[in-house]
Amino acid sequence: MRHTPLRDQHVALGARMVDFHGWEMPVQYRGILDETRCVRTRGGIFDLCHMGRLEVTGPDRERLVEHVFSANLGKLKHGRAKYGFLLDEGGFPLDDVLVYRDTDLVHIVINATGRDHDCAWVESRRDAAGLDAQVREVSDDQAMIALQGPVSEAVLQPLCDANLGKLRYYAFTNARVRGIPTLIARTGYTGEDGFELFFDPAEAVATWKALLETGADHGLEPIGLGARDLLRLEAGMPLYGQEINTSIDPLEADLGFGVDLAKTATVGIPALAARKAHGLTRHAVSLAAEGGRVPRTDTELFDAAENGERVGRVTSGGVSPTLGRTIARALVHTGYESLGTTLWADVRGKRWPLQVVPHPFYRRGA
Amino acid sequence: MSDRPNDIRYTSSHEWVRYQGGVATIGITDFAVEHLGDLVFVQLPEVGDEVSAGDSVCEVESVKAVGEIYSPVAGEIVEVNAALGDDQGPLASDPFGAGWLFKIKTDDDASSLMDLATYEAQLDAAS
């Protein structure tokens, strides 16, 4: 199994380590619900070194990214980040990514599972289009640590030379943390304010410890992948492989904000636009219930308590400590997406009712 | 960690059994509870169900996973801990007491199950 430079830190902190797509990662330290609440009310620090990152350089770098990235890079200012997809020719996502547009390069954060294929995919599209750009996977050349939660700015500010008060949501800056050159981005995957830091992996342990130490006064704690999954689900954010994959497209998944259908020269966009013109046959919905069984990924949904039609399936489910309810994202046939619709989750032969509710489940400050 | 009682029997799948006058009370050990993590739901069997040893009769669901509970003995379910339906807390706070799951009227004896020392040796060997 692969491991990050912070593995020994997690073990020393009492984490339960699991195999996450071939990576030995902390699923929890104290408990998933406790860690979820900690990020919502105070703050948490996450080891994300397993995630993949690409750097695109060269004269045609922005043309190449425009060609493979579903959202519109041209509309993005330098120093800003944008969420979107690497689509295949059929308009289905090979990965969901965050693109950071810098002045001399484009930085792309991909999923850990995308490390196997994203770089080669972008290179193959470059070659097919005859563009002059270099694509380099830098996943192992950078540590990635996230700080998320209301105390994030107070924890990071004393350690860095950037004025974080001026750094807007989805903006980034090249600055120093503990004197070490660090890309600081005001991005995240929890629905809270926070930062993602990219820097020399040889400094990973020192920066992790410094952030935990500074954060201790603010109630900051280390957070595992279990709480990370629950936080993103509460905030309505997709997980690649579940909400979207090579058979669920971004429009069905209600992620159209990451797609610019006017970009007809981008791989996959013409196919997506054609499907939209025909009308979508499936829709992503948010479901909630008071207690009961937890509808896990692939749980089938029916339109009645007994018999009835199979109308969809759960893509992610969990128990929300923030809402005190059972929540799930699901993909259902057109006609079952209206708010208030009752759908029945079949858990081992027994059916449990859930209601279609507004999306997302949780929005900060709301 | 809970103090594990010495007067009950244990299974390799982390159930415990307390025999009293032909009735076996069954629960899961502190190790099982700890391993499951934050508990959110317990699916109990029905009173009157006839079960065989090794049957999956109960499910304990945590934030992350579903744990199946196997009956260590054969017999009839005579009582379930219905209070756990509303509050799974006792499973974590008192797994060998208030966190019991169900009771079975049984003729089986405990001879095939582990005593505390054997169970703890198994835990040590696995860790």
Secondary structure in 3-state letters for chain A: CECCCCHHHHHHCCCEEEEECCEEEEEECCCHHHHHHHHHHCEEEEECCCCEEEEEECCCHHHHHHHHECCCCCCCCCCEEEEEEEECCCCCEEEEEEEEECCCCEEEEECHHHHHCHHHHHHHHHHHHCCCCEEEECHHHCEEEEEECCCHHHHHHHHECCCHHHCCCCEEEEEEECCEEEEEECCCCCCCCEEEEEECHHHHHHHHHHHHHHHHCCCEEECCHHHHHHHHHHCCCCCECCCEECCECCCCCCCHHHCCCCCCCCCCHHHHHHHHHHCCCEEEEEEEECCCCCCCCCCEEECCCCCCCEEEEEEEEEEECCCCEEEEEEEEECCCCCCCCEEEEEECCEEEEEEEECCCCCCCCC
Q: Please indicate, yes or no, if residue B76 is contained in any of the structural domains.
A: yes
Distance CA(A164)–CA(A177), nearest Å, equals 12
**Structural domain count, chain B:** 1
**How confident is the model at residue B109, as a pLDDT?**
77
Chain A residues whose CB is inside 8 A of the B41 CB are: 291-294
User: Which of A263, A299, A285 lies closest to A340 in space, CA to CA?
Assistant: A285
- What digits encode the pLDDT tens for the residues A172-215? 999 999 999 999 999 999 999 999 999 999 999 999 999 999 99
For residue B110, the model assigns a pLDDT of: 72
Q: Domain limits at B34? A: 9-108
Q: What is the pLDDT of residue A363?
A: 95
* pLDDT per position as a tens digit, A232-287: 999 999 999 999 999 999 999 999 999 999 999 999 999 999 999 999 999 999 99
Residue B123 lies in a domain: no
Instruction: Please check whether residue B125 lies inside any domain of the structure.
Output: no
Residues of A in contact with B64 (CB under 8 A): 27, 32, 226
Q: Which of the residues B59, B63, B86 would you substitute to probe the A interface, choosing the one with the greatest number of A C-beta atoms within 10 Å?
A: B63
Amino acid A366: pLDDT: 63
Taking the CA of residue B120 and the nearest CA in chain A, the distance in Å comes to: 20
Q: B63–A27: do the CB atoms touch at under 8 Å?
A: no
Is B67 within a domain? Answer: yes
Give the whole-angstrom CA distance, residue A149 versus residue A193: 5
What kind of fold does domain A281-357 have according to CATH?
Answer: Elongation Factor Tu (Ef-tu); domain 3 (2.40.30)
Residue B77: inside a domain: yes
Task: Report the phi/psi class of residue A276: left, alpha or beta, with left for phi > 0 and alpha for psi in -120 to 50.
Answer: alpha
A74 pLDDT band, cuts 50/70/90, is: confident
Distance CA A343, CA A355 (A): 6
Residue B92 forms contact with A (CB below 8 Å): no
Q: How would you class A138 by CB atoms within 10 Å of its CB: exposed for 0-12, middle for 13-18, buried for 19 or more? A: middle
Q: What is the pLDDT of residue A135?
A: 98
The pLDDT of residue B85 is: 86
**How high is the pLDDT of residue A116?**
87
CA distance A213 to A232: 26
Which of B37, B43, B59 is the closest to A32 by Cβ?
Answer: B37
Domain annotation covers residue B95: yes
Question: Over the stretch B10-19, which tens digit does the pLDDT of each residue have?
Answer: 999 999 999 9
Q: Is the dihedral of CA A29, A227, A296, A315 positive or negative?
A: negative
pLDDT average, residue stretch B88-106: 95
Can you give the CATH number for the domain in which B78 is found? 2.40.50.100
CB contact under 8 A, A32 and B63: yes
Q: What is the pLDDT of residue A291?
A: 81
Q: Say if B3 falls within a structural domain.
A: no
The whole-angstrom distance between A293's CA and the closest CA on chain B is 6
Is the Cβ pair B41, A294 closer than 8 Å?
Answer: yes
Using the Cβ of B7 and the Cβ atoms of chain A, whether some distance falls under 8 Å is answered with no
Mean of pLDDT over chain A? 97
Question: In this structure, what are the phi and psi dihedrals at residue B82, rounded to the nearest 5 degrees?
Answer: -60, -25
CA pair distance B88, B54, nearest whole angstrom: 24
**pLDDT value, residue B2:** 52
Residues of B within 8 A of A27 (CB-CB) are 64
Q: Which tens digits make up the pLDDT trace of B38-93? A: 998 999 999 999 999 999 999 999 988 888 999 999 999 999 999 998 899 999 99
Indicate whether A134 pLDDT > 90: yes
Q: Looking at A27-36, A317-326, B59-68, B73-82, which range is the least confident one?
A: B59-68
For B126, the enclosing helix (H) or strand (E) is helix B116-126
Residue B15 covered by a domain: yes
Tell me whether residues B40 and A319 touch, CB distance under 8 A: yes
Residue A352 pLDDT class (50, 70, 90 cuts): very high
Tokens of A216: 């201790």
Q: Is B1 a residue whose pLDDT tops 60?
A: no
Assess B41–A contact: CB distance below 8 Å, yes or no: yes
Average confidence (pLDDT) over A280-303: 95
A31–B59 CB contact, under 8 Å: no
Residue of chain A with shortest Cα separation from B60: A293
CB-based contact B41 A293, cutoff 8 Å = yes
Give the model's pLDDT for residue B108: 85
Domain with CATH 2.40.30.110 in chain A: 281-357
A228, A293, A346: best mutation site toward chain B, by most B Cβ within 10 Å?
A: A293
As a whole number of angstroms, the distance between CA A187 and CA A171 comes to 8
Domain A7-50+141-234 top-level CATH class = alpha beta
DSSP state of B77: E
Give span(s): CATH 3.30.1360.120, chain A. 7-50+141-234
